Amino acid sequence: MPNLVQELNSLDFSVYIGGPLQAAVKAQHDASISQVNFIKEVGFLPGTTTGTGANAVTTPSQLRYVDFNYEKSIPNPDFGKTLEQLKAEGKVDASATQIPATVNVSAFMKSAVNLKVPFLTMLTVPAIRIDEITIDFNAKLNSVETQNVSSEFSGSASISAKFWKVKFNASASYKKTTSSTSTTEKTYTLGVHVRAVNDELPAGLSRIMDMLEDSIAAV
């Protein structure tokens, strides 16, 4: 009969348990490196190097901006002003008898605006974090032992008599057959459940993002 305890002890649990854990750690490491590469490649323009050797000058990476040009309506500061007020401000010629059509005195006026927005503030920075990992390893061993025993007996006898002489013949045979079969069934199942979430940005990066949002300027 096989030794099931020995069968279980022969399993390398460092592979079955440690393997998925090491894979999760590597996945977390790769996610962190991916975040750094994303910020460098998407959020910044690459620096340039001019010259060679001791005369080499490297220009640091520059923040990548997105420019928007649009028009918006703003209150007209000349709205409601009289001709004399406009003359005093130099917006109308002193000899004019009425407000020229070229001077806008309506309630609102169009203003061209240029908006500079850091590119990083418009995107979701990847911050994948492994929140939970569950490893289910099941080892199932079934041992079946079968033994077959069969016996066979045969015999014969004969007696003959002639006067005082007696002749006796006897024969016998016995046969026993034994067969034994032992079978061990092994079933291994490994289930790994990983739960990943989009984590909050690190404190340093979050502060930088806040500073970048404050740098958004409309001119």
**Tokens standing for residue 182:** 């032992």
Strands (E), the chain: 44-45, 48-50, 57-59, 62-63, 65-75, 108-118, 128-162, 165-198, 217-218
The per-residue pLDDT for 13 is: 76
Q: Quick one: how far is CA 38 from the chain centroid?
A: 15
Q: Looking at residue 169, what DSSP letter applies?
A: E
| Side chain identity at residue 159, one-letter code | I
The per-residue pLDDT for 133 is: 87
What is the distance in angstroms between the CA of the first residue and the CA of the last residue of the chain? 87
**Contact in structure between 14 and 156 (CB atoms under 8 Å):** no
The per-residue pLDDT for 152 is: 62
Backbone dihedral region for residue 53 (phi beyond 0: left; psi -120 to 50: alpha; all else: beta): left
The per-residue pLDDT for 76 is: 82
Of 7-16, 85-94, 172-181, the one with minimum mean pLDDT is: 172-181
pLDDT more than 70, % of the chain: 75
Q: Which residues neighbour 133 within 8 Å (Cβ) at sequence distance 6 or greater? A: 20, 21, 24, 192, 193, 194, 195
| Rounded average pLDDT over 59-84 | 82
Q: Which residue has the higher pLDDT, 170 or 117?
A: 117
Q: Looking at residue 211, what DSSP letter applies?
A: H
Bridge-based pairing state of the strands 44-45 and 62-63: antiparallel
The per-residue pLDDT for 176 is: 60
The per-residue pLDDT for 103 is: 79
Would you place residue 162 in the very low, low, confident or very high pLDDT band (cuts 50, 70, 90)? low
| Rounded average pLDDT over 12-31 | 85
Residue 1 pLDDT greater than 60, yes or no:
no
CB burial string 127-136: b at 16+ within 10 A, e below: bbeeeebebe
Residue 171 pLDDT greater than 70, yes or no:
no
**Phi, psi values for residue 75, rounded to 5°:** -60, 135
Note the pLDDT tens digit of each residue in 91-133: 788 778 788 777 777 888 888 888 888 888 888 888 888 888 8
**Tokens standing for residue 160:** 């003959």
Would you place residue 67 in the very low, low, confident or very high pLDDT band (cuts 50, 70, 90)? confident
